[in-house]
Every structure is written in C-alpha cells, then in structure tokens.
Amino acid sequence: EADIYQTPRYLVIGTGKKITLECSQTMGHDKMYWYQQDPGMELHLIHYSYGVNSTEKGDLSSESTVSRIRTEHFPLTLESARPSHTSQYLCASSEVGRENTEAFFGQGTRLTVV
C-alpha cells in the first residue's frame, strides 16, 4: 500500500474562491507529480518536482501553482477557481536514481467548481 495521501477527497467550491489541494508522502521520495484527470478519464501531467525548491510545469497548461518547501509535501493551489477547473487531481511520487521504480499515486481529489 502506497504512503501518499491527498486531502480533501472531494471538494465543492464556488467560483472565485482560492483553494489548496494537499498532497503528502511518507516514503522520502524526491520526485512528485500532479496529474489532472478529465471527466473522460484521460490523465495529463500539470506539475512536477524533482526535490525541494524545484517545480516545473507539465505537458498540460494549468492555471494552478505548486510549491515544494518540504520533501514530503507538494500542495497545489488555485488562486481563483472556475468551473473549467472541475476535474480530478491525482498526486504521485517516485524515487530518484532507481531503475525499477514506479510512481505511487494518491487517491485523488475530486474538485467541483460551481
């Protein structure tokens, strides 16, 4: 069982609100990722980090921002939520420097903006 946690699991929020989705892992992994999953199921990488103070944008443009102040914590923030942000957000982590590692995923946050 993976030790990566996301909160909240479900969030319904009004347009214009600021929200932060939390992601924490206890495995000491340096690499962390955020994926956005469409209602049609496809997943796209929106942010990733290779360690503390390292953040990069992924393949899918996103209005969200991330920070990596501690190894175990990789929160995602939306300054002003809009209905187009309605989606599931999945956080993942993996080890650095191991050939046979895999990414461990959290259970996701299902965000609905009304």
For another protein, the binding residues (CB under 8 A) are 2, 9, 31, 33, 35, 40-45, 48, 58-59, 88, 90, 92, 94-95, 98-108, 110
Query: Where does the chain show beta strands of DSSP type E?
Result: 4-7, 10-13, 19-25, 31-37, 43-51, 54-57, 65-66, 76-78, 87-94, 104-105, 109-113
For the bound state, the minimum distance from the C-beta of residue 44 to another protein, rounded and expressed in Å, comes to: 8
Task: Please state, in angstroms and rounded to a whole number, the distance separating the CA atoms of residues 114 and 95.
Answer: 37
Closer of 2 and 13 to another protein (Cβ): 2
For the bound state, the minimum distance from the C-beta of residue 5 to another protein, rounded and expressed in Å, comes to: 10
Closest CA to 50 of 63, 66, 64, 37: 66
For the bound state, the minimum distance from the C-beta of residue 102 to another protein, rounded and expressed in Å, comes to: 4
Closer of 41 and 114 to another protein (Cβ): 41
